[in-house]
Chains A and B, each alone.
Chain A
């Protein structure tokens, strides 16, 4: 690889054009676009940067360093597990422990209210996101089948599908028996060496540790894609910079971002515009702590988390379930099931799993302990799993608030109250029946269910109406015209797919809209 120029450093007292808060799937694409447009831009990232080949072990416990560990409080009928499930820290953000699942939404996902009369439509038509989805897939080197069986016609994936593991093969066989169509899933790890914009990434080796960090730099996480291109274009990424507040000028606009630096000193970065991309929990938390951008009263409300029930089973064959890309096989035949009785739909995916995570879920989620747990774990190499990822309707009482408890930084802990509604419960029951049928038809047995909801969506939602939403279709605050929010918190509906590539596309669009308006 050619030597990169030394990274840009802006002086503390210098005012920059833009500050981006968070170096993950929301912030990194914006950072890149703004720097490439010639703006002076600083990214404040709470975590550190990593050198995967030196720092990443094929070991789950060691890799817990990729998870956001400041304590969050989970409430409601279906408390959300944070930590390893839902939030990352470090340059790359949650994309560091992303499964690499790279499924696009379908156009009707963005029109849920028009189609079903519930939830919200996105204020952006699919056609406007599509070119950005194309760009993201090219940049990440997504491996997938061409043609792809579901959704509108689309560009070919840059790489052919990754190999299917045991869980995918069993799901494929079971689904075929039932007449459910399946396909190798699109995943953001190239199946052969890949170069984009001078960034070279090796082929995925099927190690299966996507959720613990890719040690070879194959996975298209933000740290090996958007971030190096942003640095090359002159952006600065300031590590271990934890944002604590905002300074405002007399006209109410933001004039500086306050943060604690890597040595614990209070710092202040003056700027022309702020892009808050701290993730589905930290972005609404920042706004609530600062008392900003909430004339709608919607900050923190409508927190959504995909229906994501997992069903596990055993097979006689040797599987080695951690191997291969975790989400190897997909079906979107359940995108709008005919016998649904609920709004929206879901996808079904095969899943790989690492041993500590699996044991933990079987203990916490199934309640196995003693001989039942240990004898089952001796069968670990024969375990397969599948899960759903489905729509979740917004509800104002599913809500992030600030608790009275302070965390290690002396800031109020966020409290997230979440309960599945009738729609989520009906969808999960539908998915559970289908997954059980698929597994049994595939010859698997001893089914175990681990209920869960996944992803952190919606608590700063975008919309056309400033009384009903926090940001507009350009992800700009209705209240403060130099404040943008762009991460999973702005999703007005959950979509029936995993959120990451849509987020990256939305961030590219947000940057373009901002640049066009300058």
Chain B
């Protein structure tokens, strides 16, 4: 970061209050409000696709892929991922040689745990984050010891949880995105206009 200006996150309850106020404001059109409100309010029950061990591994992996623990917990990233997997809505394509989504993720999570057991005599979820990251780095690169995971598993898991996370209104508001504020008509576009309107959402 050249200028060091990354955004610091506020506590989740304050972020949530701010997000709810935005969503219920007149800055959003009705369809946009409905879509985001539903996502904000959605809660997930444990699904049936993953075993409890697989679910525990998934939850731990999510926290390393997206290391923002308060938001990941509030959103229930792992629960949202499992629900999406169960809905099977998919993305319209997959790598021809890859396993189908459910088989891919079951096998990948099993591999993550098996490798951790072999190396550290521990479940992946019980490992410290530094060692978890080392195993995930191997998974990302497709290298030993994670070369036992099915091909494309890490890429598909990472992409899926990343999309769920950055589609969530709390995260979008947290990173300063205001594209959901779509009810004001003409928007500022040029650098000069955007700077001048920096704090007025959707203008």
Question: Is this pair of chains taken from one and the same complex?
Answer: yes
* Complex interface residues of chain A between 310 and 329 (CB less than 8 A to chain B): 314, 316-320, 322-324
Known: A79-B96, A164-B190, A377-B175. A316 touches B158 (CB 8 A): no
Known: A206-B186, A323-B187. A72 touches B31 (CB 8 A): no
Asked whether, in the complex, the Cβ of B1 is within 8 Å of the Cβ of A324, the reply is no
Interface size on B, residues (CB 8 A): 57
Asked whether, in the complex, the Cβ of B194 is within 8 Å of the Cβ of A73, the reply is no
Asked whether, in the complex, the Cβ of B191 is within 8 Å of the Cβ of A319, the reply is yes
* Residues of A near any B CB (own CB < 8 A): 53-62, 64, 67-75, 79-84, 87, 163-166, 169, 205-209, 215, 314, 316-320, 322-324, 354-356, 358-360, 362-364, 367, 369-371, 373-375, 377-381, 403, 415, 417, 445-446
Binary contact track B178-195/A, C-beta < 8 Å → 1, others 0: 111010011111110011
Q: A53-B29, A208-B187, A417-B96 are in contact. List 4 more A-B contacts (CB 8 A).
A: A75-B96, A165-B189, A215-B29, A316-B3
Asked whether, in the complex, the Cβ of B31 is within 8 Å of the Cβ of A55, the reply is yes
Most buried by A among B7, B35, B159, B179: B179
On chain B, the residues within 8 Å of A374 by CB distance are 66-68
On chain A, the residues within 8 Å of B175 by CB distance are 355, 377-378, 380-381
**Minimal beta-carbon separation of A184 from chain B (angstroms):** 12
Chain B residue with Cβ nearest A375: B6
Chain A residue with Cβ nearest B184: A205
CA–CA, A314 and B163, complex, Å: 21
Question: What are 26 A-B interface contacts by the 8 Å CB criterion?
Answer: A57-B29, A57-B32, A57-B34, A61-B39, A70-B92, A71-B90, A73-B94, A75-B95, A82-B92, A163-B189, A165-B190, A166-B194, A169-B190, A317-B194, A318-B195, A318-B198, A320-B178, A322-B177, A364-B155, A364-B158, A367-B155, A370-B66, A373-B162, A374-B66, A378-B7, A380-B176
Asked whether, in the complex, the Cβ of A356 is within 8 Å of the Cβ of B163, the reply is yes
Chain B residue with Cβ nearest A316: B3
On chain B, the residues within 8 Å of A75 by CB distance are 95-97
* Complex interface residues of chain B between 15 and 59 (CB less than 8 A to chain A): 28-32, 34-36, 39
* Complex interface residues of chain B between 133 and 174 (CB less than 8 A to chain A): 133, 136, 140, 155, 158-159, 162-163, 165-167, 172
CA–CA, A319 and B198, complex, Å: 10
Known: A317-B191, A380-B177. A415 touches B96 (CB 8 A): yes
CA–CA, A370 and B64, complex, Å: 6
Chain A residue with Cβ nearest B71: A374
B103 at the interface (CB under 8 A from A): no
B102 at the interface (CB under 8 A from A): no
Q: Which single member of B35, B136, B194 contacts A62 (CB below 8 Å)? A: B35
Asked whether, in the complex, the Cβ of A57 is within 8 Å of the Cβ of B162, the reply is no
On chain B, the residues within 8 Å of A79 by CB distance are 95-96
* Residues of B near any A CB (own CB < 8 A): 1-3, 6-7, 28-32, 34-36, 39, 64-68, 89-97, 133, 136, 140, 155, 158-159, 162-163, 165-167, 172, 175-180, 182, 185-191, 194-195, 198
CA–CA, A69 and B90, complex, Å: 7
Q: Which 5 A-B pairs have the closest CB atoms?
A: A83-B92, A75-B96, A62-B35, A82-B93, A58-B182
**Minimal beta-carbon separation of A417 from chain B (angstroms):** 8
On chain A, the residues within 8 Å of B36 by CB distance are 57, 59
Q: Which single member of B30, B34, B159, B189 contacts A360 (CB below 8 Å)? A: B159
Asked whether, in the complex, the Cβ of B136 is within 8 Å of the Cβ of A71, the reply is no
CA–CA, A329 and B165, complex, Å: 31
Asked whether, in the complex, the Cβ of B65 is within 8 Å of the Cβ of A370, the reply is yes
**Minimal beta-carbon separation of A401 from chain B (angstroms):** 10
On chain B, the residues within 8 Å of A61 by CB distance are 35, 39, 163, 167
Asked whether, in the complex, the Cβ of B133 is within 8 Å of the Cβ of A370, the reply is yes
Known: A61-B39, A318-B191. A83 touches B198 (CB 8 A): no
**Minimal beta-carbon separation of A362 from chain B (angstroms):** 8
Q: Which single member of A54, A69, A323 contacts B194 (CB below 8 Å)? A: A323
CA–CA, A360 and B157, complex, Å: 11
Asked whether, in the complex, the Cβ of A359 is within 8 Å of the Cβ of B93, the reply is no
Asked whether, in the complex, the Cβ of A403 is within 8 Å of the Cβ of B96, the reply is yes
Asked whether, in the complex, the Cβ of B163 is within 8 Å of the Cβ of A69, the reply is no
Known: A207-B182, A323-B188, A380-B175. A363 touches B6 (CB 8 A): no
Q: Which single member of B3, B6, B31, B190 contacts A378 (CB below 8 Å)? A: B6
Asked whether, in the complex, the Cβ of A69 is within 8 Å of the Cβ of B91, the reply is yes
Asked whether, in the complex, the Cβ of A206 is within 8 Å of the Cβ of B189, the reply is yes
CA–CA, A403 and B36, complex, Å: 38
On chain A, the residues within 8 Å of B89 by CB distance are 64, 69
CA–CA, A67 and B89, complex, Å: 11
Asked whether, in the complex, the Cβ of B96 is within 8 Å of the Cβ of A369, the reply is no
**Minimal beta-carbon separation of B155 from chain A (angstroms):** 6
CA–CA, A67 and B35, complex, Å: 17
On chain B, the residues within 8 Å of A84 by CB distance are 91-92
CA–CA, A137 and B86, complex, Å: 44
CA–CA, A290 and B167, complex, Å: 40
On chain A, the residues within 8 Å of B7 by CB distance are 378-379
**Minimal beta-carbon separation of B115 from chain A (angstroms):** 17
CA–CA, A370 and B93, complex, Å: 25
Chain A residue with Cβ nearest B174: A378
Asked whether, in the complex, the Cβ of A318 is within 8 Å of the Cβ of B94, the reply is no
Asked whether, in the complex, the Cβ of A83 is within 8 Å of the Cβ of B31, the reply is no
**Minimal beta-carbon separation of B194 from chain A (angstroms):** 5
Known: A81-B93, A371-B67, A381-B177. A54 touches B31 (CB 8 A): yes
Asked whether, in the complex, the Cβ of B2 is within 8 Å of the Cβ of A446, the reply is yes
On chain A, the residues within 8 Å of B91 by CB distance are 69, 81, 83-84
Asked whether, in the complex, the Cβ of B35 is within 8 Å of the Cβ of A71, the reply is no
Most buried by B among A74, A163, A369, A446: A369
On chain A, the residues within 8 Å of B97 by CB distance are 75
Asked whether, in the complex, the Cβ of B176 is within 8 Å of the Cβ of A205, the reply is no
Chain A residue with Cβ nearest B68: A374
**Minimal beta-carbon separation of B43 from chain A (angstroms):** 17
Most buried by A among B36, B93, B140, B195: B93
On chain A, the residues within 8 Å of B159 by CB distance are 360, 363-364
Asked whether, in the complex, the Cβ of B2 is within 8 Å of the Cβ of A71, the reply is no
Asked whether, in the complex, the Cβ of B92 is within 8 Å of the Cβ of A67, the reply is yes
On chain B, the residues within 8 Å of A169 by CB distance are 190-191
**Minimal beta-carbon separation of A61 from chain B (angstroms):** 4
On chain A, the residues within 8 Å of B179 by CB distance are 58, 207-209, 320, 322-323, 354-355
